Amino acid sequence: YYCSTDGLAVSEKAEIPYTASATTLVADGIAVINLTGLPAGTVLTVLGESEIETAGAIDFSIDLIGSYNLLLTHSNYLDTTITVTAT
C-alpha cells in the first residue's frame, strides 16, 4: 500500500505499467530495447547501475552476450523484473 501525496488516500500497489519493444536484442551496444509507458520517477536497475526515467521511457542496450534482469522500481508500485536476452 502507499499513501497519496496529499495524504488523503491509501491505495494498493500494482505492478509498474510498461511496454517493452522486445525481450531479446543483439549484444552489439547499438541495438536497443525501449521501455515505454513508465510512470514518472521509475528507476531501472541493471547490474547494479541505475537510471531514473524522466520522459516516460528508458532505453536498454548492452554489448555482452547473456541474460539480464531489468529491475523497475517506483515508490507507488510493486517492483517489476523484466528478463531480456542479448545474443
Paired strand residues for 50: 45
Question: What is the model's pTM?
Answer: 0.84
d(CA 46, CA 27): 15
- The predicted model gives 50-74 an average pLDDT of 94
C-alpha cell at 62: 548492452
Distance CA(21)–CA(84), nearest Å, equals: 11
- For the chain, the average pLDDT equals 92
Q: Is the pLDDT assigned to residue 13 strictly greater than 90?
A: no
Cα diameter, the chain = 48
22, 42 contact by CB (below 8 A): no
Structure confidence at residue 74 (pLDDT): 94
Q: 77-78 and 24-25 as β-strands: parallel, antiparallel, unpaired?
A: unpaired
